[in-house]
Structure 1
């Protein structure tokens, strides 16, 4: 089979290797598609070399069918369509308080251990979620990032009739906006990239650039002065941190979706003055995956428009180079059988 390897120094290789039988408690998946995540791009840029053991097969957004079942596995059969929730959360401690998805010794499969950018992939059966037979595997590759969005919206407590401001209109920001709209919220997207603004508008969202308009005044006008009930900070840049406390209304909730690797200044006075809440959100839980699977299965949201390119697995080096050259795209999928 073909497998890819991250070698470091912005380099991927494609190798031929033996297909391995699944061990006890594992299944072997014939991987259909593997999405390229922002984290994968960080790995490509060498930002996670201290964490990723090289050479390493990366990738964690995927879909596929079961090709073989190891001893002791029940409830799954060859031919079942599945996705993997890539969290090996078996090394739990009392200090994790039952929140296994963010346990101290979490193994994020595809980062901390081999991932899905290969033709066949052996994984623990407890990571699987079964799909319906008629599920489009191309769309199913969006279930992992969509689960990030369903987790974020669930933790926010967003309900129908509320206003949500999404700071950042990239892939995760748009998925958050879709889920927020699906629960009945009014959604405003703030994004500086004109191509992504146009895409958000094409998808039916109210999208503006904070460079062209005063975002605080814009949200004020759209909400009769109430401002946002929920703000999703997805951009990960200082201007978003500066404005998030301004666009939030009284007792607004701010969801920290973006990853900030360094300490950043935040206007804590606004938290006191308006009784704001700041909520951290990381990865997802089982119920978020089930929600995402239901949304993909229903296919009533414009998920197909999120996929801007599909490339053969053998083109992996070119794919990452092109993402650097063209950061305007949304979701690139690798066809893992080509």
Structure 2
């Protein structure tokens, strides 16, 4: 099979590798779509923390936002999976520790992460072997593009739930990238009044295309009481701004990751009686994300600006926009394409 292999910071190859075999408890999936995300770009630059913590090393195969169709199954896996359209959980817990047994496998100390951590190959290839227990079937109404948006959508849905427990809150989302826009979509679907703050007018103009009209640059934010503020950016100063802007008794939700430490004043946190929430992983919300896509209450397909081949993936990771790409923030890869 063909696979995109990151051989070092900024270096890569499309290699011919042996087709994966389904070990006991595993399936092999023919990959149809893969999303490129900020984590992948950090691996490309060599800045991703896991590289420096011993959880990842080169060469590696990226790709943790994916969809495809089950090709083969290993021993102990039901034949009903054959031919099914699926996506999968990124987080592969050990299944035996206290966290896994309490349903928190996404924070298992010894977890593997597909395309991210501890040598678990990712989906930037024609085929992918994964544990059957990590699979989520996709209904016919969730196409390949939507299927590859389930993982980022699950992260965003968790943030929207944390920000809007009642569904009628006024929410400010900081950072209208893929995750921020998905948070805004899920919060809107829950009945919230959604505001978005962006760094550039172009990002806000795209948000307007998605139907959002409360759009602000940092220097133009209105003086409004925000019941929740979600930081979906990579700006170190914005968690502190979120705490300043949120109403007393409100919620500050952190789903973005900066390249350096962010600092907040815990006196403000306590004196404003604010609930602060940090979120890692889509795992607890994958089912609900698929349902939302299936019933049309959230449709993130406009976020995808272009779909490219494995051969074009390196330039995307280097920050180049594909020729003819739309205005959306997300780029997808279709491993079945050649040279596009």
Please indicate, yes or no, whether the TM-score normalized by the shorter chain is above 0.5.
Answer: yes
Structure 1 residues 275, 75: closer, same or farther in 2, change over 3 A?
A: farther
Seen in structure 2, the aligned counterparts of structure 1 residues 83 and 32 have a Cα distance that, compared at 3 Å, is same
- Map 1:106-255 → 2, pairs under 5 A: 106-112=111-117, 113-205=120-212, 206-211=214-219, 213=220, 215=221, 218-220=222-224, 227-255=225-253
- 2:164–2:192 contact (8 Å) kept in structure 1: no
| 2:281 alignment partner, SS class | coil
Distance 1:21 1:141 in 2: 23
For 2:9, the equivalent position in structure 1 comes to 9
1:223 — aligned with what? none
- Distance, in Å, in 2 between the alignment partners of 1:175 and 1:304 is 11
Structure 1 equivalent of residue 273 of structure 2: 275
Q: 1:92 & 1:163 partners in 2: Cα distance?
A: 41
Aligned equivalents of 1:75, 1:134: Cα separation in 2: 23
CA deviations 1:17-47 (Å, max 9, x no partner) are: 2213211111000000000011000001111
Residue of structure 1 in register with 2:24 after alignment: 24
1:321 aligns with 2:335: no
Following superposition, the deviation at residue 251 of structure 1 comes to 0.2
Farther off after superposition, 135-144 or 91-100: 91-100
Q: Are 2:330 and 1:331 aligned? A: yes
User: Alpha-carbon deviations, 1:104-133, whole Å to 9, x = none?
Assistant: 222111111210000011111011001113
Write the mapping of 1:93-108 to structure 2, written as runs, cut at 5 A.
93-94=97-98, 98=102, 99-108=104-113
CA distance in structure 2 between the partners assigned to 1:249 and 1:60 by the alignment: 36
Q: Which structure 1 segments of 5+ residues have no match?
A: 221-226
Q: Provide the rounded CA distance (Å) in 2 between the counterparts of 1:238 and 1:263.
A: 6
Structure 2 stretches lacking a partner, 5+ long: none
Change (3 A) 1:275 1:58: same
RMSD: 2.1
Q: Relative to 1, partners in 2 of residues 1:156 and 1:94: Cα closer, same or farther, differing over 3 Å?
A: same
Secondary structure of 2:318's partner? helix
Q: Comparing 89-98 with 243-252, which one deviates more in the overlay? A: 89-98
Q: TM-score, normalised by structure 1?
A: 0.90
Q: Which residue of 1 aligns with 2:60?
A: 56
| Alignment size in residue pairs | 327
3-state SS in 1 of match to 2:68: strand
Change (3 A) 1:155 1:199: same
1:329 to partner: Cα distance: 4.8
Matched, 1:70 2:74: yes
Conservation of the 8 A alpha-carbon contact between 1:92 and 1:100: no
Q: CA deviation at 1:219?
A: 4.3
Q: How does 1:243-322 map to 2 (within 5 A)?
A: 243-260=241-258, 262-286=260-284, 288-322=285-319
What is the CA-CA distance between 1:140 and the residue it aligns to? 1.2
